[in-house]
């Protein structure tokens, strides 16, 4: 059941991040939006654990997932702009 919740939260975080992030070089589609949200959540968890916001077994919340997804989209747009 946690995998299904990860997919749902990843999709919602990806949608909000796509809405917040400026630019035209955004991934589109259900799968890519979900992947961006899930990667953003994982990025937020790792960064949060490194700076001491989360414990060893804690994960990022929804806001952290959105912030991580925005970071992923900003990196994506920089890489897409160079290509």
pLDDT single digits (tens) 55-81? 888 777 888 889 999 999 988 888 887
Does the structure show a pLDDT above 90 at 16? yes
CA atoms of 15 and 56, how far apart (whole Å): 28
d(CA 26, CA 72): 10
Alpha carbons 77 and 83: distance in angstroms, whole number: 10
Residue of 29, 34, 43 whose CA lies nearest to 75: 43
CA 35 to chain centre: 8
Torsions phi, psi for 37 (to 5 deg): -65, -40
Which pLDDT does position 83 carry in this prediction? 65
pTM: 0.84
Q: How confident is the model at residue 25 (pLDDT cuts 50, 70, 90)?
A: low
């Amino acid at each position: 059941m946690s995998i299904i919740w990860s997919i749902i939260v990843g999709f919602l975080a990806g949608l909000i991040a796509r809405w917040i992030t400026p630019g035209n070089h955004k991934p589109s589609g259900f799968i890519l939006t979900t992947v961006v949200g899930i990667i953003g959540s994982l990025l937020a968890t790792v960064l949060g654990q490194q700076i001491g916001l989360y414990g060893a077994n804690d994960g990022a919340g929804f806001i952290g997932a959105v912030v991580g997804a925005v970071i992923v989209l900003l990196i994506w747009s920089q890489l897409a702009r160079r290509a």
